[in-house]
Amino acid sequence: MVAVSGSCVWIVPEPHDNRVVPQAPLLPYRNGLAPLRIRLPHGDSAPTVLAWLEREHPDDPWAASMVAREVVDEKGRPWNPESAYAPGRFVHFYREPAPEVHVPFELDILYDADGLVVVDKPHFLATIPRGMHVTETATVRLRRLLDCPDITPAHRLDRATAGVLIFTRPKELRRPYQELFSEREVLKEYEAVAGFDPSLEFPRVVRSRILKDHGVMVAREEPGEPNSETRIELISNAGSWARYRLFPHTGRTHQLRIHLSSLGIPIKGDPYYPVYTRTPADDFDTPLQLLARAIEFDDPITGERRRFESRRTLAG
């Protein structure tokens, strides 16, 4: 079962599920990261919790962490090296993330007041900790920069996309601002540099059915009832390239990239569409020319109209 809590998508284990998963912390956040959780499975003959942990997860310093009281149960009580194995109980702990390639671009703050933090995310920086990208994410950078572990994104931008990204500071503001996006009550304005085809007329609205399989890097369009919609406006053109203004009504994975590519005018620097090309993790030379230019909405707390704009520019 999956549930959204804070800055991550938590996987709530079903019975007999002993995967390592993020969990709402009984231990405090450390260096911008939440502790993890394991459920001790039934049917194991390990004599102690420590013995099971060292057997199943040998790369972690379990004994030292227990001595430091940094391994606790579901009620926050420390496990110690002599604790008897307890099937069905939980282990909460810290784990140092693997080394990551540093993203050499700054995360600029556009606004920080009223419980909101609005940033101008650079290209190549993921929004939330996930997979290969944990510390090199906007969420963790911002938590560390502002020394505020409760900072949580109200929405997400793809790692390849730059621009306006909104966070909340207190937990109480998470739901009202996240619901703005889930209920499509936000005007999102993007800018892109993509191919130019003089035979295409703009403005136009593109609607299609976009699907993405788990574990597959790219999404795809299929026949059927549309589940995505984008309004595209032409700003200017020069030779074989043009600048476009994009207004997505929906938020399907890679929607803007797919819609422009489907018109035969893929976004400049896109390694995914129309043909997927693997790029090295330390290759920052060719950013995707897609920018979340502005976000506009009626504030769910004050009712005032808000608009935040990126200060970044596309290379063209």
Two tokens at 289? 């020319």
3-state secondary structure string across the chain: CEEEECCEEEECCCCCCCCCEECCCCCCCECCECCEEEECCCCCCCCEHHHHHHHHCCCCCHHHHHHCCCEECCCCCECCCCCECCCCCEEEECCCCCCCCCCCCCCEEEEEECCEEEEEECCCCECCCECCECCCEHHHHHHHHHCCCCCEECCCCCCCCEEEEEEECCHHHHHHHHHHHHCCCCEEEEEEEEECCCCCCCCEEEEEEEECCCCCCCCEEECCCCCEEEEEEEEEEECCEEEEEEEECCCCCCHHHHHHHHCCCCECCCCCCCCCCCCCCCCCCCCCCEEEEEEEEECCCCCCEEEEECCCCCCC
Residue 248: strand pairing partners: 230
Q: Is the peptide bond before 274 cis (omega within 30 degrees of 0)?
A: yes
In single-letter form, the type of residue at position 154 comes to A
Give residue for tokens 């730059």: 162
Q: Which amino acid is at 298?
A: D
Contact 143, 107 (CB under 8 A): no
Q: Is 158 a catalytic residue?
A: yes
Q: Name residue 161's amino acid.
A: T
Catalytic residue among 60, 120, 158, 270: 158
Residues recognised as catalytic: 158
